[in-house]
Structure 1
Amino acid sequence: MTVEEFKLPDVGEGVAEGELVSWLVAPGDRVEEDQPVAEVETDKALVEVPSSYDGVVEELFAEEGEMVPVGDVIISFRVDEDGEAAAGDDAEAEPEPEPDSPDESASEPTTEAADAEPDTPAGRTFAPPSARRLARELGVDVAAVDGSGPGGRVTEADVRAHAEGDAGAADAGGPDDGPEPRPAPTPTDTGSDGRKSAVSKRGADDGSADAPATPAGGPDPAGRETTLATPATRKAARDRDVDIDDVPTDQTRDGEAFVTAEAVNAYADALESPASTPEPEPVETDAGTEPAVTAGDASETSAPASGDETVPYRGVRRTIGKQMERSKFTAPHVTHHDTAEVDALVEAREELKPKAEAEGVKLTYMPFVMKAIVAGLKEYPYLNSELREDDEEIVLKSEYNLGIAVATDAGLMVPVVENVDEKGLFELADAVNDLASRARERKLKPAEMQGGTFSITNFGAIGGEYATPIINYPETAILGLGAIEERPVVRDHADVASEFLDDSDDSTVVPAPTLPLSLSIDHRVVDGAVAAEFANTVMEHLENPLLLLNE
């Protein structure tokens, strides 16, 4: 039986890191090869990470909400020599909060993996994910560190001491003054013994290891060296700005303190109560008496006001921002606006809807628009192109892959419908509905959002007529659709019912369904006249749907 470590794979082209959104397994769970073990949000999509082994989950090395670089170890499995689950493991066994407990050290085998740690006298190295992560950051072999925690467990302080060349300082006393102090914590360290936290405690002095852990009147911090907790509980602690080692608890697992999410929330609520927030002591200044400003206050001068909410700027939202910034600062945008009169389109859709429903397809206007766009792209190929600045060339694409912008809870996603010119209206409707549904459920694969040659955004579905859409770079154009509504249009007498006729002129104003169009182009590649001609071709096909039969 061996313990195999599994690294975060490259889950998409150009992806360097991902946020571990949730674990789908726990220590002690039996998994099969290709079974999803975690959900990871990259800067492209939310993807499931499958296991490469048949075995039993040994240890989780990352916490929910943590940003993990591609190639970092995130989980380990117990497998036998043939890759099967270790014999004797019960498939129904209850997941253990900490599978590498001291009781298992005598019977566990040596880890055999490409990047495995060397053997220790007990056969394995016991260290929580945070200590292992710190060891990787400091370039320390965690197996060579003498653990001072219960059962020889390696703590973060042990890792730091080893990195400073003082691995034995925690256990060996000095000749005169007793134990040698541990290395001073860095500005990101909080609490006692230099433990590292992703957030600073309330009121903590970034430069002092002796800063009070909690405000006066608040609950006393437990100040433990190690704490057992599920990844979800640790995420709750981060969300509440709490050091999990300080949360009081009466529960234990394998002889160590075990903290639940309820205990974290109760402790955080006690910290935030008015009684636990004393007023700063006044100090005398030349200008009079002013409240004292502590180091903690100074570090939070730019913090959000009370009641404000902060949301991490990463994942899909960060990708949208970077993509929009790149597009806007790279391609000079020009937007052309026009309006199509779509009486015939509305009638054609109404006639086809019953047949589409009989085939289980929801027919919207989007497939008609996609076909009209393809007609325009065939006639004006520069709108279906890519400018490659480094090579000083414009690539006219031979494929017609249209991206459809979809609003989701995580932000705007643009799944791509490939080979639109080769699909019928019902086939396109089915493809768009499927992609849009899976985009909202965060189930798209990264490959399904790549390879687009032209994009469409339908802001009219929410409300609105015109906009200035930002090009989905490196494409050269994007078409925005307004809402199809009845608006006043001017018609010749021959095209108007008798009740609308006005004998005073040869034309009259009548209500008719119209579709506003907003076409943004990269003016380096497409001239304004070409954009207008393209829009005219699209409108011609929308106003005469029979022309779409040729596409």
Structure 2
Amino acid sequence: MAKYEIFLPAMGEGIIEATITKLLKKEGDSVEEEDSIMEIATDKVDSEIPAPISGIIAKILFEEGDVPKVGDLVAIVTTDGENIDDADASQKKEEAPIERKEPQFTLITEAPEKSDAMKTKTENGNFISPLVRTIAKSENITNEELNTLVGSGESNRITKKDILQYIEDRKTTKVIEPAVVSSTPAPQISPPAHNSYTGQNVEIIEMDRMRKLISNHMTNSLQVSAHVTSFIDVDVTPIVQWRDKVKNNFLKKHNQKLTYTPIFVEAVTKAIQDYPLINVSVDGDRIIRKNFVNIGMATALPNGNLIVPVIKDANEKNLIGLSKSVNDLANRARMNQLKPDDIQGSTFTITNLGAFGSTTGTPIINQPEVAILAVGAIKKKPAVIETPLGDTIGIRHIMVLSLSYDHRVVDGGLGGMFLKRVAENLENFDTTQLL
């Protein structure tokens, strides 16, 4: 009997576990090679685990909602359908040590204890895994506190990330002091209470898993970074005229659409080379300068959610290479075919507000980066044109760039100079190049 063990694969830096959101096959089912056995989800992206060979599903070791770790044995496929002994099926692949930065206490995975006072479910019926219960016990988190948490896992399941984030938020809340000394305690700000809406003309829409992650990510960014936003007008008339002239030949020659996005990415990467302290992250009191440029491009999905695929080593690509990367990532994002590694490791993010007609905005920084550039819609506007014979008024294609940056490490001077350099790179774009 040929037996093939299927392990939860490594899915990118910092990802040590995944939630099984759906079992696509059950024990005894026949599968063809590359058939999907189960759907999994991490805090970054959804994915599937395929069968490595044609055969019979002899064993599935986890259920929907379980959270195996990278390297855990999740299923066994045999070529002749013979039974697998339970003892054999329970074997796990030995994991290599994984560096973990987040825990400030010992994480212990253990079976639930019958005498354990910590409940296995919240009052809302959301499952609390043994790992979450262990962390809660070690941090003296009560059942009442767990009842207030809305998990980001499947069916609002409380994940390890949720409990760790709650612990960090609780510590932050304890440390914050009032800005003004007063004998009267500062009022606590809390979300307004909601009515039950029973019988009213409203529709209740539950957030899906990705929307919860986006919500947490955006709120966390505003809590972590001191946001400042600067704006600048850019005359992109030469770029508009050049693109209109070459886009059809570009499509025929390279089988790629020529959009404005790779042009924006190129201008940003060149500006980062001039101002590398924009390409950093913050770790406590340390500034981590990245000697590589990975550009995240915020992409709207058909369901209304947002994802940020990453162009790796963007500074090493020419306009043709950037166009291929942009089109490939955007297409796979819309078809839900991104891999976990496709959305990790960005050092700077660009978001295109102009795609929806907005002229400008104040984007929220994509942590752990320290800056994000928003690109507004290109609009025809009257503008002053300087000529050797004097100033005139003309119709120009004007675009507003807005740069949000983390004032903890990026001051107005650096933010302003970087933004100005991006604008200069766009206004001095080489319209004589042949692609």
Deviations 1:345-373 (A, max 9, x none): 11221232133111211001111111111
1:437 matched to 2:331: yes
Q: 1:453 aligns with which of 329, 333, 347?
A: 347
Partner of residue 130, structure 2: none
Distance 2:427 2:61 in 1: 59
- After superposition, the Cα gap between the structure-2 partners of 1:60 and 1:110, relative to the gap in structure 1 and judged at 3 Å, is closer
Distance 2:279 2:53 in 1: 44
Please say if residues 18 and 67 of structure 1, whose CA atoms lie closer than 8 Å, have aligned partners that are also in contact.
no
- After superposition, the Cα gap between the structure-2 partners of 1:34 and 1:187, relative to the gap in structure 1 and judged at 3 Å, is closer
1:326 matched to 2:326: no
- After superposition, the Cα gap between the structure-2 partners of 1:487 and 1:431, relative to the gap in structure 1 and judged at 3 Å, is same
* Partner secondary structure for residue 68 of structure 1: coil
Q: 2:416 aligns with which of 532, 539, 546?
A: 532
* Partner secondary structure for residue 325 of structure 1: helix
Q: 2:427 aligns with which of 531, 540, 543?
A: 543
Partner of residue 37, structure 1: 37
Please say if residues 384 and 391 of structure 2, whose CA atoms lie closer than 8 Å, have aligned partners that are also in contact.
yes
Deviations 1:173-232 (A, max 9, x none): xxxxxxxxxxxx998899xxxxx998xxxxxxxxxxxxxxxxxxxxxxxxxxxxxxxxxx
Partner of residue 465, structure 1: 359
Matches within 5 A, 1:185-334: 305-306=198-199, 308-314=203-209, 316-334=210-228
1:337 matched to 2:231: yes
1:111 matched to 2:86: yes
Which amino acid is the alignment partner of residue 407 of structure 2? H
Which amino acid is the alignment partner of residue 23 of structure 2? W
**How far did 1:60 drift?**
5.5
1:357 matched to 2:251: yes
Structure with the bigger RCO (C-alpha within 8 Å, sep 6+) is 2
* Partner secondary structure for residue 546 of structure 1: coil
Distance 1:444 1:39 in 2: 14
1:376 matched to 2:271: yes
Distance 1:523 1:188 in 2: 40
* Partner secondary structure for residue 490 of structure 1: strand
**How far did 1:304 drift?**
5.8
**How far did 1:310 drift?**
3.8
Distance 1:422 1:186 in 2: 51
Please say if residues 11 and 47 of structure 1, whose CA atoms lie closer than 8 Å, have aligned partners that are also in contact.
no
Deviations 1:265-303 (A, max 9, x none): xxxxxxxxxxxxxxxxxxxxxxxxxxxxxxxxxxxx975
**How far did 1:29 drift?**
2.4
- After superposition, the Cα gap between the structure-2 partners of 1:309 and 1:86, relative to the gap in structure 1 and judged at 3 Å, is same
Please say if residues 19 and 68 of structure 2, whose CA atoms lie closer than 8 Å, have aligned partners that are also in contact.
no
**How far did 1:427 drift?**
1.6
Percent of matched pairs sharing the same residue: 33
Partner of residue 47, structure 1: 47
**How far did 1:470 drift?**
0.9
Distance 2:294 2:432 in 1: 17
Distance 2:297 2:322 in 1: 11
Distance 2:27 2:215 in 1: 37
Q: 1:420 aligns with which of 301, 314, 319?
A: 314
- After superposition, the Cα gap between the structure-2 partners of 1:11 and 1:539, relative to the gap in structure 1 and judged at 3 Å, is closer
Structure 2: runs of 5 or more not aligned: 92-109, 128-153, 157-193
- After superposition, the Cα gap between the structure-2 partners of 1:186 and 1:330, relative to the gap in structure 1 and judged at 3 Å, is closer
- After superposition, the Cα gap between the structure-2 partners of 1:56 and 1:303, relative to the gap in structure 1 and judged at 3 Å, is farther
Which amino acid is the alignment partner of residue 311 of structure 1? E
- After superposition, the Cα gap between the structure-2 partners of 1:69 and 1:488, relative to the gap in structure 1 and judged at 3 Å, is same
* Partner secondary structure for residue 220 of structure 2: helix
Please say if residues 4 and 113 of structure 1, whose CA atoms lie closer than 8 Å, have aligned partners that are also in contact.
no
Q: 1:492 aligns with which of 368, 371, 386?
A: 386
**How far did 1:333 drift?**
0.8
Please say if residues 8 and 69 of structure 1, whose CA atoms lie closer than 8 Å, have aligned partners that are also in contact.
no
- After superposition, the Cα gap between the structure-2 partners of 1:137 and 1:3, relative to the gap in structure 1 and judged at 3 Å, is farther
1:86 matched to 2:81: yes
Please say if residues 38 and 49 of structure 1, whose CA atoms lie closer than 8 Å, have aligned partners that are also in contact.
yes
**How far did 1:11 drift?**
4.0
Structure 1: runs of 5 or more not aligned: 88-107, 117-135, 140-162, 165-184, 191-195, 199-234, 240-300, 496-505
Please say if residues 458 and 481 of structure 1, whose CA atoms lie closer than 8 Å, have aligned partners that are also in contact.
yes
* Partner secondary structure for residue 67 of structure 1: coil
Please say if residues 17 and 70 of structure 1, whose CA atoms lie closer than 8 Å, have aligned partners that are also in contact.
yes
**How far did 1:114 drift?**
5.5
Distance 1:47 1:329 in 2: 30
- After superposition, the Cα gap between the structure-2 partners of 1:56 and 1:369, relative to the gap in structure 1 and judged at 3 Å, is same
TM-score, length-normalised on structure 2? 0.68
Which amino acid is the alignment partner of residue 57 of structure 2? V
Which amino acid is the alignment partner of residue 327 of structure 2? N
Distance 1:540 1:459 in 2: 20
Deviations 1:287-330 (A, max 9, x none): xxxxxxxxxxxxxx97564553342453x323222222222111
Which amino acid is the alignment partner of residue 57 of structure 1? I
Partner of residue 263, structure 1: none
Q: In terms of Rg, which structure is larger? A: 1
Q: 1:346 aligns with which of 240, 244, 250?
A: 240
* Partner secondary structure for residue 382 of structure 1: helix
**How far did 1:23 drift?**
3.4
Partner of residue 507, structure 1: 391
Distance 1:517 1:548 in 2: 24
TM-score, length-normalised on structure 1? 0.55
Partner of residue 254, structure 1: none
- After superposition, the Cα gap between the structure-2 partners of 1:401 and 1:317, relative to the gap in structure 1 and judged at 3 Å, is same
- After superposition, the Cα gap between the structure-2 partners of 1:188 and 1:530, relative to the gap in structure 1 and judged at 3 Å, is closer
